[in-house]
Every structure is written in structure tokens, then in C-alpha cells.
Amino acid sequence: MDRSLRARLEARFGEVLSGPIRQRHDETEIRIAPKDVPDVLGALHDEPEYRFVMLADLAGVDTGEVMQVVYHLWSDTTGDWLRVIADGLSREEPRTPSITFLWKAAEWMEREAYDMFGIVFEGNRDLRRIFMPPEYTSFPLRKDFYLADDAARSPGGGVRPSERSHAPRNSPAGTVRRVKA
Amino acid sequence: MLDDEVGLFEPIQPNPPRTEREAEFYTLGDGEMLLNVGPHHPSTHGVMRVVMKLDGEKVVDLDPVLGYLHRGVEKLGENADFHQSIAYLDPLEYVSSLFCEWPAVMAYEKLLDVEVPRRAEYIRVLSGELNRIASHTLAMGFQALDLGGITPILYSFIERDEIVEMLAALTGQRMLFNYFRIGGVNGDLNHDFMSRLGDWMSRAATQIEANMGLLNENEIFVRRNRGLGVMDSETALRMCWTGPNLRASGVSFDLRRAHPYSIYPELDFDVPTRNEGDCLARYLLRLDEVKQSLRIIDQCLEQMPDGPVMAKLPRLLRPRPGRAFAAVEGPRGLYGIYAMSDGTDQPFRFRIHDPSFIHLQSFTTLIPGHLIADWMAINASLDPIMGGVDK
Amino acid sequence: MTAISRTWGRLTLPGKVVFTLVPLLAVLGAGLIAVVVLFGGAAADLVTANLGIVRFAVAATVILVITIPIAFLNIYLEMKVIALMNLRVGPDRVGPWGSLLSVVHGLKVLLKEDFTPTGADAVVFTWAPVVTYGAAVMTLVVLPFAPGLYAQDFNIGLLYFFAVGGLGVVGLLMGGWSSYNKYSLLGGLRSAAQIISYEIPLTLSVVGLLILAGTMSLNQIVQQQSGWFTDWFVFRQPLGFVIFLIAAAAEGNRTPFDLTEADSEIVAGFATEYSGMRFGFFFFAEYVNVFILSALTAVLFLGGWNAPFPVPHLSIALDPGSLGIPLLFLIALVPVVATVVLALPFYLVRSSMRWWVALIVGFLLFNVAAGGLIFAWAFISFPAVAGLVWFLVKAFAFVFLFVWLRATLPRVRIDQLMGFAWKWLLPAALLNLFVTAAAILVVGPRA
Amino acid sequence: MSLIPGLGMVRGMALTLRRFFEPKATVFYPEVKADIPPKFRGRLQLLYDEYGTLKCETCFQCAQACPIECIDMGGMDPKGRFHVHWGAAETYGERREESALRRSGRPVPDPAYDHFDPLDMRAVDAILDEHDADPARLLAILEATQAHFGYLPVAALKRISQVSAAPYALIYGTASFYGHLRFAPADRSDADAAASARRRPAEADYLAGLGASLAGRPGGDA
């Protein structure tokens, strides 16, 4: 845990943070609104105080209530992974700015997040499905997507008890497994 | 006769373009044609499809099409409990399976606040470095195979087979080891493994050196790789490269040093770096790394402590809700797992970060302007494993 | 009738075959004898009157047929040698040391489905392998295998060789173009570019040799190299030899110049869409080409059929007829006695060996010894046999070299390939030509 | 690269020529089989202890833990009260198929249970409908079934498994966990047991076959 990093981040980005900075093990976590992503990540990447030059991961997350985009950054100025969570994307129409202007390689990771969650990254010039076939319609990693897509629409309903326990067949629509984000 | 049919080499667009980039790619200029390489082409290292826009033999642009091996491992992992989800990771990068398991167990250990016994850490590093050597020798052999040299790959496979037999004695399986457990490893070192390892270590360095001597000095091989697919360090970072490919571009970034984990801070090894950033540098860097891995194995064997190899854990794991990210330095770069727990016995989100996926997308940066044959050389030097790319 | 059918029913399958074939052959033989007796004189007159045509027809047939064992042997060598160099065992199941595997491959391609892709130009597609194979076979016509053992001795033999050999690329181009496949097209174009480029250094590299030899007839070139091995042209044209070897590797599409069917790049090049025996023809042609280029190297630079040293002419005066009737006893007794003599040591030393096993071993040993003796006698007495042996040894040494290269080297790139031909081989060949010409001006042609 | 062009290639050729004569690494597979490491986790196998008794206690923990449901139990449990099968049906592919059928919501045929007494399934279906066929409410379903039949017939358990899509192992595990649930009628006497054994000749055959196949081995006299 890098306490100084926390202090630095609070001082620099205090007004854009949408939640408290959390630290656990070797990770520091900040939350921002999607609209602030380009500015915050740009600052983290460019400013010599931070030098987060490496994007270790870009992941979409469906918490069951909102969508999130999670960035993991690495810098030689700190021993921590920095986790930036762009929080509060709506599940109906998730949209967030693309960061391909910072890391070109984010293009495919954003494509993957789009493919799996339907998150639209504005500014990604090649946002199409990457793993699933072009004519595919649903987003498999969303929490209201049960395993075996076709089976989910069939009378058999959900598939294994482990999945069904989260969303029984006759339960009201929209009850999905969720986590307190 | 042919005039009645479709124009001889007219491109067939499977779908209307979805993005500007796709539309631009599938619009052919004067004298250009599309060549569909894959999904089963001899040198795609798996089931990859690349649509190439060619001007004669020159590649103008290309569009990799993924998903032929997509198994939905992330979804499967979210529907399995914490132990089970590790088993799904092995088939991702099937030539270096241990490095797929490793970040997952590390992430889960973070979620559970488990302390791993030191002997288990040593065994992880030992087996991991063996797996790295196996993967690197294979990568070097394939680089020759894709250039048409058929012999080095077989020498590589002989070396790899010895390592794989060794790991089979340790883990029980030859390829999909499923050896790392949350809080340790599945079983201690055994006599069979140790005798095989000692036997192999005594001749490994000279043997690998001799095998690769077939290529290192070979003028044809050197000329075909030097100055090919050059990636400068700035672009490499923007392309999120990691691992040997990044180090061949002059960035000394090795997670074992840059973000130390396990017992690597206690071990003495160098991070080889090269500045050329071309295919030859990537090849030679792998050879250097093999030597460093041999050093690490030597030290592990020397310093191996006694003790348990598994932490005491309850049978049913229910970590507190939280998030954890763990990454290790694999033979291809940064393998990361981002795990979220919602308090049940299954991971809530199970994100896999695979380096091959990242390296593959720099095709569009590296290859345009080169010839078709160079595509194979560059592809082999990036060493992607499609099982990991497609998840 | 029932007795016959019952007896027939009791026969095993080999028995049935034998009892069918023997009468059939007897009838045929009798018929043949009758035909020869009745029309033999006229036929013999006809043959003697048109000896040249008959000789050519026979030679062409023989050449067409011997391409099959040559190709099989080359394929086997390729599989086995590369395997051994790869630390593998290679073929070892069919026949002794797997030597019949290439035959099985041949049967396999015969049995496979032979299809024409939709959209392909069926006529061109069908004829492409024939053209390639035909070109390869036609070049064999001028190769002197041994003294007197050649199909045709042209005075422009070498020119004919290059001209017809260059025809093979037409077949590859036809196959590449007609397949309706981009890989095939790329392969065909590559082969056209490559072979046309390498024809030039290949031809130029032997011009110096031609000036030295003063003839284009391969037969005469070989005759000029008789005597000690220092008389071989390789010692008078070392640069030409190296250029010729490299260009020959490219001409035969061998690694490191096998861009035409570069399997890791363009799948199988011109042969991507081929299957069955058409594919087999392409590969027969390739392996025959390897042999032909090796043989041509041996002929031009290594003295062809000549032994590396002057062989003193031995004539073993055997006159078996003088023995008279005892010769019959000799012929009858020698195999029996030799078999028993060779079997005895095995029977006496190894107590576990049954007597009949020892006899079989003895008989086999006798056969080997007798065959060896007969071969040695033929080798000494007939220059054609000795010449053929030397020629084949030299030719297959080069085949081995090509296989060895393939086992070691990666492939070059197309631009490097062309650059090498035009920037290095061509100037070197010209240099070789000028140096040779200058040397002849200064020293004289027969230095 | 060396100063003399081509020297590296010549060295490489020297290496391949040397390897030409070196001993080969090929394993002659059908004749020589590789050793299977002691830790190899391959085909499933039931183990017997040194007295020839089956070590398996039919606790179904392995079946529940198996992520692709390729493990199922078979045979008689130690108390002789349950007819299950262990053998061909346990093979991976077949279980996979069954699992896939269940996943797609189609009924899973199970020939091993066909010889049981026919049972009126409408009652079971009614109970399942009442409880929404929810595996989370399994105990209630089982209790209702027992209340209807007086005990838990195996066919009813299979029906519950098919309809609710819960693995059979889970149902059986739950049913065997609670003491008040039983697999046989409560008033069943020894005579009834003998009668039921006669009614199920397959079981006697099974036991006889088991004894014959184990003759001469530990456990053969069992």
C-alpha cells in the first residue's frame, strides 16, 4: 500500500473523484465519472509526477445495477497497481469516452468490452464485435445473460442450479445477481 | 466461360461494414486484392484469421478476425467456484499453462488475505521458470519454422518434451497442469521430478545453445529477421506491449522486477534488454531469457526452504466482497487476472488479461509495407498463442 | 465336372491364382513363340531398317518408367535423411527401414479423390501437371547415364536441356493461374519470376565451361573429363560450379529457394488446389527435377560416369563353354554346396537355431554373395555398368546435398531471392565467363 | 554473423550432419508407452481397501464438485439400499451429453432406471409446480414427495432432478442428509426386502456378476 500515492491522488484529482480512495494489498482504487476518464487518465499518463505509462488491463464490469469500466495502470513511481473505475454507466445505454488516444492497444480491449457488455466507447474508430460473430445480438458477460444463450430462451430456462439460484425462471424480470458496487 | 461468373478475384464482403475502419479496409484501391489467411493456415499459430489487403506481394493493410477459439472462459469462471475457475485457465495459453493459473491464484489469495507458505512460492517460481523455458524454446523453434526451417522446431520440441515430462512428474499432467492452488500448490516436489530436473539442468544450457546455434549464425535467418517489424519503445508502450517483445524494444520492464511478487525480489537475475526492436532482437532476447531462467532455477534449488506447500484454508471459500488484480510476468508478457467477489463462493467478475491478445493487435502497426512472407516472421516473433487470444 | 469344381473349391487363394495364371501364361507363351517363328524375320528386318526410331522409342519408354523409381527414391531419401537430421527416426514401418513408404504414398495419391475446384479453368487445370512432368521427363532424354547409355546425344544437348527444363515453369504457371485461388496465383507468379531469374545465372555459369569444352553435347563433355579426378571441370570452373549449384537449387524449387510452394506462407503455392494424382504429378516432377539437376551437376562438373581415377582395363577371360558337360554339374551343385557351407557355421555355433532356419540363412547369404560376385564381374567387364554406378553415386550425392540443405536452412524472402540472383549471381557468372575467356585467350583452350 | 559470408550456414550444416549420426529421440509409440506419472489425474476409478471393501461411501461429494457433471455414482451403497450404476454410464462423453441435454432443457433419458416400478408422475409434477421447481426449495419438495408416497421413490427423485435441472447428486445428497427422509417405505420388513430383491432380478445379476468379475482378486469373495 502506497500511502503517498493516495495523498497525491487526493490532492490532484480530489474534485473529480466520485468516491473514496480505497487501498488494499498492492492496489489503489479511485472512482471517477465516465466523462472524466480522458482527462484523468491523460493526466496520470503524462504528468511526470505519476507517469502511469502502462495500461495493464481494461475491463468492463456489470455489477447488476450499473456498468463500470475498470482500468489498471502501472507506473515506476509507485509500487501499487492503480485501479481507475469509471463508475455509473447506465445498463440500458452504457457510454464512455475511449482512451485509444492514449493507448492505441486499448482499441481491442474496448472492442472486447463492447462485445461482452455492450459498452459503447465514443471515439474508438473500430468498435465492432471481436469474439462473437457479427450477427450476434446479446452481450454474454452481462449478469442477466444466463449460460447457453439459446437454452435461456427455451422452456428449459436457466441451466444449472448455481445459475438459477440467482435468477429463477418465474421470478420477476430484472432480478440478477448483483454486487454492492 | 468465366465471364458469366463472379469476377475472378472480386472481394466478397460477408457483412455490411459496421465501422468506418472496416468500411475503409474493405474498399479496395487500384491493383489491390484481399487475401484471406486462415482460420487454418499453416503458420497462424492456432486458429486465427487475418484478412490481408495486398498490392502484389506487399501487405497494404490487414484486419485480424478473432473468435474462432472463443470459449467464454470469463463467463465459465463466473459460474464456477473459486477452485474450479482456475482449471478453466490452463487451456488458454497451452504452452505456458502455469502462467495462466498463477495470477488467478494470486488474485484470489489477495481476496482471501491468505499467506502462501514460502516453500510453495519457491515451487511456483521453480515450475514457472521451467515452463517459461519450455515456452521460449518453442517460440524460437516456431520462428524458424515459419521461415521454412524445419529442423529447429524439432530440436525445440525435444527440449520442451523433457521439461514437460518433468512437470508431468511434478503436477500429474503434461500440458494442462492445474497445479497451483489457492494458498499453495497441489503437492510437494517429488523424487522423480528432482532426478529428471537435475539430469536436465546439467546439460540444458549447452544443449539449447547448440540447437539455436543453427539459427543464430545462419545468414538467411538473420537477414530475414533483422530490421523487420521494428517497434520503437514509445510506440511499444502505447501498444501496451509487455514481456520479451517490449524488452526487445528497449524498455526494461519486467514485472518480476517492476512490480515484484512471489519470491523474485530475493533472487538474483538480470533483465535482458535489446534496443533494436526487430524480429531478430525479439528472438535473441528469448534466448537470453532462457539463460536467466536457468539461473533462477539454480537459485531456487539452492535456497528451497522446508515447510508446508499449502496454506490452511476452509473447504468452501467465501471471500469478503472486494476486488483484486494480480499480474505475473509470463513468457509472453503480463498475464493478469482481475477478480471481483460478491461474498458467494463464485467470482463475480473474472477478467483475464492475456498478452497475446495485446501483441496481436499491433499487426496493423507493424506489418503494412512488408511482404506476405514477413507477416509470418513478425507473427512468429510476437509469439501469440491463439488459445489465450480468443479466451 | 463336380470333381473339378470341388478341387477348385479346396484351393487356397494363391493356389487359385497360380492355377489360373500358369495355363494362361503357357498359352500366351506358345502363341508368342508361334508369332515369332512366323513373323520374326520380317519384324527383325523392320527393326534393323528403322533402328534409330526403335532405339528412341525404347529409350523414351525406359526413361518414362525410370522416373518412378527415381522419384520414389528421392522422396524416401528426403523423408529419411531429414528425419535423421531432426533426431527423428522417420519412416520405419513399411518395408525395411521404411523404404517402401514412398511407394505407399504413390498408391495413396492414386486413391485420393481428384477434384477440380468450382471456377477453375478445367482444361488448363488438368494439363498443368502433365506439362510440368513432361518437361522434367524430356530433359532426361539428353542425360548420359553411362557410356552408350543415353537416349539421344544431341550436339546441342545442354541448350536443349535448358530450353526444355524451362518449360516446367509453364506448367506451374498454368496450375497457379487456373486454380481460381489467390494462393495458387501467388505461387505461380512467384515460380515464374524465380525460375526465369535463375535461368540466367544457371545458363551463364556453364558458358565458361562450354568455352572450355568446345561442345554442347553432354556426352562429349563427359568424355572430356575422363582420366584422373583433377580433369573434372569443377577444378577448372570452381566459381561456375558454385553458381550452378545455387541456381540449380532455385531452379528445382528447393529450400532455401522453395518460395513457390512455401508452405508457411502461401500454403502450397501453385499446388494448393490440387489433389490426388495430379498433385502427385507435380511432386513427381519436383523430385525428378531434383535428380535431373543433381545428375546434370555431376555430368558437367564431376565427370559424369567417369571414375575418379583411370581404371585399368581388365578383361576377365571367362569361357564357361569350355567346361562342357561339367558346367551343368557346376551350375546344379554350387548353390547347394554353398548354401550348406554358409549355413553350417550358424547351425553349429547357435544351438538354438533350427536346421531349416540355418539353411534359409545360408541360402540368403549365398544369394547375396552370388549377386555381389556377378555385380563385381559386370562392374569390371562392362564399362556401362561401372559408368552407371559412378554416375548414380555422384548424382545421389548431390541429391543428398539438396536434402541436407533443406534440413538446415530456412527460406529466403522473395525480394532477397531476386536481389541475390540479379545482384550477386549474375555478375559472378559474367565474371566467371570473362575470366575463362581471358584465360583461354592467354593459355589456349586445352590447358 | 561471421566475417566470411555463408560460414554460419556451413556451421549449421555441420550441426545437422552431426545430428544425422546421433541417437534419435523418437519414442516408438505402440511398442513403447510412456510412463504415466503417479500423480496423473485421468480416468475415474473406484478403489477397494485391503479387505476388498469398496472405499466409496456414495457421499456424492465428488459428483457435486465435478464442474461438467461427468461423475456419477453407481452400484449399491454400503447399506444396500440404493440401486445405482457405475460403469459405462460414468464415461465422460456420455455424461457430457446428458449434461448438455439437461442444459438445453430437454428430458434426459436414463435407461438404468427404466425397470423401476411405474410411478404416477402427476403427483410429483404437481408438487414441483407448487414449489416452482426451484432447487433452492429442495427440502420442501422432498418432504412433500415423501408425504405423498410415504417414502422417496428413486423414480420420483429422478423426475425432480429432470424438472428442476438440479444434478441428481444434489437431490440424493440432500435426501440422504436429513434423517427424516427415507428411501424405503417405513413399515418395510425383511420379508418385503426379500420380495423387493426378487422383484429386481437385475440387482441379483449385478451382484453375481460383480462377484464373478472380482474372483481371485481382493474383494472377490464379497
B-contacting residues in A 21-80 (Cβ below 8 Å): 24-27, 29, 53-57, 59, 61-62, 70, 72, 74, 76, 79
What does DSSP assign to residue C412?
A: P
Contact criterion met (CB below 8 Å) for B330 and B243: yes
Length of chain D: 222
Work out the pLDDT band at A168, boundaries 50, 70, 90. very low
The pLDDT of residue D87 is above 50: no
With CB atoms and an 8 Å threshold, state whether A131 touches B391.
Answer: yes
pLDDT by residue, tens only, chain C of 447 residues: 788 888 888 888 888 888 889 989 999 999 999 988 888 788 788 888 887 788 888 888 888 888 888 888 898 988 899 999 888 888 888 878 888 888 888 888 888 888 888 778 888 888 899 898 888 888 888 888 878 777 777 788 888 888 888 888 888 888 888 888 888 888 888 888 888 888 888 888 888 888 888 888 888 888 888 777 777 888 888 888 989 988 888 888 887 888 777 777 788 888 888 888 888 888 888 888 889 889 989 888 888 788 787 777 666 666 766 777 777 887 888 888 888 888 888 778 777 777 788 888 888 888 898 899 888 887 877 778 888 888 899 999 999 999 998 888 888 888 888 888 888 889 999 998 888 888 888 887 654
Work out the pLDDT band at A164, boundaries 50, 70, 90. very low
Instruction: Give the residue-averaged pLDDT of D59-83.
Output: 56
Reported as a single tens digit per residue, the pLDDT across A40-93 is 888 888 888 888 888 889 999 988 788 899 999 988 888 888 899 988 888 888
With CB atoms and an 8 Å threshold, state whether C408 touches D28.
Answer: no
Q: Count A/B contacts: CB-CB distance under 8 Å.
A: 129
Tell me whether residue B340 is exposed, middle or buried, using C-beta atoms within 10 angstroms of its C-beta: 0 to 12, 13 to 18, 19 or more: buried
For residues C339 and C358, give the distance between their C-alpha atoms in angstroms, rounded to a whole number.
9
Identity of the highest mean pLDDT range in C434-443, D101-110, D166-175, D202-211: C434-443
The pLDDT of residue D218 is above 70: no
Contacts of B168 in chain D (CB under 8 A): 37, 40
Q: Which CATH class is domain B73-390?
A: mainly alpha
**pLDDT attached to residue A170:** 41
Closest CA to D44 of D6, D95, D79, D9: D95
**pLDDT attached to residue B320:** 83
Torsion angle, alpha carbons of B299, B300, B306, B310, to 10: 160
Contact criterion met (CB below 8 Å) for C436 and C237: yes
The pLDDT of residue B196 is above 60: yes
For residues B69 and B94, give the distance between their C-alpha atoms in angstroms, rounded to a whole number.
13
Q: Is the pTM of this model over 0.90?
A: no
Work out the pLDDT band at B337, boundaries 50, 70, 90. very high
Work out the pLDDT band at D76, boundaries 50, 70, 90. very low
Residue A167: CB partners within 8 Å, gap ≥ 6?
Answer: A144, A146, A158, A175, A176, A177
Residue C172 host element (H or E): helix C168-178
**pLDDT attached to residue B104:** 92
In Å, how far are B189, C282, D86, D179 from B196, measured between CA atoms? 12, 47, 38, 53
What are B157's three cell numbers? 520440441
The pLDDT of residue A173 is above 60: no
Nearest by CB to A159, which of D133, D165, D170? D165
Rounded to whole angstroms, the maximal C-alpha distance in chain B is: 79
Percent of chain B with pLDDT over 90: 13
Instruction: Give the residue-averaged pLDDT of A140-165.
Output: 49
DSSP-assigned beta bridge partners for residue B338 = B325, B351
Is the CB of residue A136 less than 8 Å away from at least one CB of chain B? Answer: no
For residues C375 and B35, give the distance between their C-alpha atoms in angstroms, rounded to a whole number.
57
Residue with cell 477452485: B83
Report the 10 Å Cβ neighbour count for B314.
7
Produce one character per residue of D160-179: b if its CB has 16 or more CB atoms within 10 Å, e if not.
Answer: bbbbbbbbbbbbbbbbbeee
The pLDDT of residue A104 is above 80: yes
- Rg of chain C over Cα atoms, rounded to whole angstroms, equals 27
Percent of chain B with pLDDT over 70: 96
With CB atoms and an 8 Å threshold, state whether B358 touches A108.
Answer: yes
Residue with cell 519470491: B263
What does DSSP assign to residue D107?
A: P
Reported as a single tens digit per residue, the pLDDT across B232-243 is 888 888 888 998
Domains of chain A (ranges; CATH) run 3-128 (3.30.460.80), 143-181 (no CATH)
**pLDDT attached to residue C29:** 93
Q: How close, in Å, is residue A56 to chain D by CA atoms?
A: 30
Using DSSP, state whether C93 is helix, strand or coil. Answer: coil
Work out the pLDDT band at D159, boundaries 50, 70, 90. confident
With CB atoms and an 8 Å threshold, state whether A131 touches B241.
Answer: no
Contacts of A147 in chain D (CB under 8 A): 103
Reported as a single tens digit per residue, the pLDDT across A114-130 is 888 888 888 888 888 88
Query: Using CB atoms, which chains have 3+ pairs under 8 A with A?
Result: B, D
C-contacting residues in D 14-53 (Cβ below 8 Å): 15-17, 19-20, 22, 24-26, 28
Is the CB of residue D12 less than 8 Å away from at least one CB of chain C? Answer: yes
Reported as a single tens digit per residue, the pLDDT across D105-138 is 556 555 545 445 667 778 888 888 888 877 778 8
Produce one character per residue of B342-364: b if its CB has 16 or more CB atoms within 10 Å, e if not.
Answer: bebebbbbbbbbbbbbbbbbbbb
**pLDDT attached to residue B368:** 87
Length of chain C: 447
As a whole number of Å, the end-to-end CA separation of chain B is 46
Q: CA angle C133-C139-C144, nearest 5°?
A: 135
**pLDDT attached to residue C186:** 86
CA-based torsion, C182, C186, C189, C195: positive or negative? negative
With CB atoms and an 8 Å threshold, state whether D9 touches C84.
Answer: no
Spell out the domain ranges in chain B: 2-65, 73-390
For residues B208 and B205, give the distance between their C-alpha atoms in angstroms, rounded to a whole number.
5
For residues B184 and A68, give the distance between their C-alpha atoms in angstroms, rounded to a whole number.
32
Closest CA to B131 of B101, B105, B104, B89: B101
Contacts of D20 in chain C (CB under 8 A): 81, 84-85
Reported as a single tens digit per residue, the pLDDT across D36-54 is 887 887 666 666 667 766 6
**pLDDT attached to residue A2:** 78
Reported as a single tens digit per residue, the pLDDT across B53-105 is 888 888 898 888 888 888 888 888 887 778 878 888 888 888 888 998 999 99
For residues B122 and B127, give the distance between their C-alpha atoms in angstroms, rounded to a whole number.
9
DSSP letter string, C248-316: HHHHTT-TTS-GGG-HHHHTTGGGTT--HHHHHHHHHHHHHHHHHHHHHHHHHHS-TT--SSPPP----
Mean pLDDT of chain D: 68
The pLDDT of residue D190 is above 80: no
Nearest by CB to D6, which of B84, B170, B219? B219
Report the 10 Å Cβ neighbour count for C112.
14
DSSP-assigned beta bridge partners for residue D117 = none
Contacts of D6 in chain B (CB under 8 A): 219
Instruction: Give the residue-averaged pLDDT of B138-152.
Output: 87
For residues B311 and B112, give the distance between their C-alpha atoms in angstroms, rounded to a whole number.
12
**pLDDT attached to residue B135:** 92
